[in-house]
Amino acid sequence: MDAVLCRDCGAANSQTTKFCVECGTPMATREAPPAEPVLCERCGASNARTTKFCVECGAPMAASASARPRRAAARAEPAAVAVAARPVAREDAPPLPPLPPVLAFFLEEQSGTRATYRTLAIGLTIFLLAFGGYFFSTHLHPGSGPSLHWIHPLSRYTFYADLAEALNHGSFDLRKAGIAPETHPDLLTKDGHVYLPYQPMPGVMLMPFVAIWGQGSTQITFSMLLGAVNVVVFWYILRLLGVSRETKLLLLPFFAFGTAHFYSASEGTLWFYNHVTALFFVQLALVFLLRRDSPVLPAIFLGLAALSRQPTVLAVPAFLYIMIEQRRLGFFDDVHPLEMVTSLVRGEMSRLGRLFGQVIDVIREALSDNRILSTVAIVVAVLVPFGIISLWYNAVRFDGIFDTGLGEIYDKYNGVAYTQYLAAGGAERFGQFDPRNIPIHIYTIFLQAPVFTNDPTMIRPSEFGMSILLTSSPFVYGALVKRRDPLKVACWIALVLVPIPTLMYYSGGWVQFGYRYLMDYLPFIMILTAFGFEDNRSPRSFRLKVALIVLSIAIGFWGRYWATRLGW
């Protein structure tokens, strides 16, 4: 049986293989190359004859010389066929020089063992570049301008390292780590014990590292390392999505240095490191979901994400949607939530009733399908222990299983201008979770602008955050996805559900660059952005993508510099 080569890593696979034996890329989505490919004049890549734009560089294929000679030859006399079909200019031109061995190893597809080495080398290179960017970006001199005089990153507010030290002593009490009561408003004192009112998983991950290197700057360094790992995992997700090399090369630096992940990973303090941890587990859950593995593994990593940042548990319906679609393709085709909302707004009750009846039929069918029921049961059964751990963690520290301690933190910040609204003289302070807080978050996400310094020629980021339309403008492509894909629907489900708690939360993130709560659902935005890049490919669009990404990365480093300079 002839071998089938994986287009991502070049490894040889049997024709019956569903996933590449080397990189895990789904083979079912890989089509055999066309019998008579058309070569792109710009990059020389092979394309199907019906392709309008090159799959590698986006150049228009309609004007390709490699396609025109075939059409001319079909109409020419036999004696003239050879002349008409020969692209004289290309044959007379000198051949392109071969790539240097190192570049050829990274850019050209390999097979067998070399494919494995190539995958590992690319992953290691991505990790080193990301970590180097995170580490050195925090070492810019915080004086009047950038300098090559290194300083150590700020190691304030590394209370997860203190929690790890306490856990190494078998306690949640931060006094075991040398933290005195009333050290910081975000620490709570209960019966003489000092507790951290946040989920424990970020501290658990630090336990072995704190045991070896101590507290110090371990949390910040580990945050940078884990952030670099997140970039590698995102690269693997892009491979599983089957996007083009162009999209990978564009989105990797954007994710690493043009999104909220850059500031969170490089900052590494109490309010940012937990976001990096949660994103790590959500991305791992997506990896095993896209690999079509057992529902157990995605559920485990979602549970670990929830023990880092609780809002991430609201992504479970999105994961279930994909799992069901993987087992029953098209199962939700009769569910039209947007049409239901439109009918409700327009008062079309008969149409709304019909659409609602279709939803009821889908639910009944799901309840009679053993595969769907078993999938849902497995996910729920795996998540329940994580919920029990979270409730037990609350009960051990505070007054009950539902007492997280965040209510007391809310009381401590009474009278503090922690949002733009309060800083501007807003008279009323809304509740801890209150729908009236939503406009504050919407303003921060989409409208928050930088501020001027004493020197009117200089601007700096606002400590209350900054609009993602400025910091991460390529996200707009996420709204331009044209394809019909269950994963697109699942991402929108996550984007509707996961932000609900944070949009109603009293704090908009406060001292931050960008909008840190975006990290709870950043992987889903990135997937939609990747689809948007793929669905909008042309030379003009390519130039726009490059411009937006370069701008986002420049703004990211600008924000990182100012954060260091201002001591955030």
Q: What is the pLDDT of residues 16-71, one digit of tens each?
A: 677 776 666 777 544 444 446 777 776 777 777 777 777 676 677 754 444 344 43
Residue 124: other Cβ atoms inside 10 A:
11
End-to-end CA distance of the chain: 61
168 has a pLDDT exceeding 70: yes
HEC string of 261-315 equals HHHHHHHCCHHHHHHHHHHHHHHHHHHHHHCCCCCHHHHHHHHHHHCCCHHHHHH
What's 6's DSSP letter? -
Two tokens, residue 198: 């946040």
Two tokens, residue 493: 């489900």
What is the spatial distance between Cα 317 and Cα 186, in angstroms, rounded to a whole number? 32
Q: Which of 512, 516, 489 is nearest to 502 (CA)?
A: 516
For residue 544, what are the CA distances in angstroms to 35, 40, 51, 258, 536? 34, 21, 22, 15, 11
Q: What single-letter amino acid sits at 57? A: C
Two tokens, residue 20: 């590449």
pLDDT band at 203 (very low <50, low <70, confident <90, very high): very high
What's 367's DSSP letter? H
Query: Percent of the chain at pLDDT above 90?
Result: 60
Q: What single-letter amino acid sits at 46? A: S
Report, in this order, helix, strand and coil percent for the chain, each rounded to 5: 60, 5, 35
Mention every residue, 6+ apart, whose C-beta is less than 8 A from residue 111.
Answer: 5, 10, 11, 12
Report the pLDDT averaged over residues 314-342. Answer: 91
375 neighbors 294 (Cβ within 8 angstroms): no
Exposed/middle/buried for 401, CB within 10 Å: 0-12, 13-18, 19+?
A: middle
Lowest-confidence region among 17-21, 105-109, 166-170: 105-109
Q: Which of 468, 458, 455 is nearest to 513 (CA)?
A: 468
Residue 107 has a pLDDT of 57
Ranges 315-319, 403-407, 413-417, most confident:
315-319
pLDDT tens digits for range 483-533: 999 999 999 999 999 999 999 999 999 899 999 999 999 999 999 999 999
Helix axes 201-213, 159-168, angle to 10 degrees: 80
469 has a pLDDT exceeding 80: yes
Two tokens, residue 152: 């150590």
Mean residue pLDDT of the chain comes to: 85
Residue 36: other Cβ atoms inside 10 A:
9
Helix H or strand E encompassing 173 = none
What is the spatial distance between Cα 102 and Cα 118, in angstroms, rounded to a whole number? 10
Exposed/middle/buried for 160, CB within 10 Å: 0-12, 13-18, 19+?
A: buried
Q: Which of 539, 538, 542, 495 is nearest to 520 (CA)?
A: 495
Ranges 47-51, 112-116, 184-188, 378-382, most confident:
378-382
What is the spatial distance between Cα 524 and Cα 535, in angstroms, rounded to a whole number? 17
Which residue shows structure tokens 């590394």? 158
Helix axes 349-367, 337-346, angle to 10 degrees: 150
6 neighbors 25 (Cβ within 8 angstroms): yes
What is the spatial distance between Cα 461 and Cα 262, in angstroms, rounded to a whole number? 15
Task: Decide which of 90 and 123 is more confident.
Answer: 123
pLDDT tens digits for range 442-467: 999 999 999 987 776 688 999 999 99
- 82, HSE (Cβ side, Cα atoms, 13 Å): 1
HEC string of 425-444 equals CCCCCCCCECHHHHHHHHHH
3-state secondary structure of 358: helix
**Residue 85, by phi and psi: left (phi above 0), alpha (psi -120 to 50) or beta?**
alpha
Report the pLDDT averaged over residues 431-437. Answer: 94
Residue 141 has a pLDDT of 53
Residue 409 has a pLDDT of 93
Q: Which of 218, 204, 220 is nearest to 281 (CA)?
A: 204
pLDDT band at 94 (very low <50, low <70, confident <90, very high): low
Sign of CA dihedral 423, 424, 430, 436: negative
pLDDT band at 534 (very low <50, low <70, confident <90, very high): very high
Two tokens, residue 338: 């947007």
What's 448's DSSP letter? P
3-state secondary structure of 94: coil
What is the spatial distance between Cα 339 and Cα 281, in angstroms, rounded to a whole number? 34
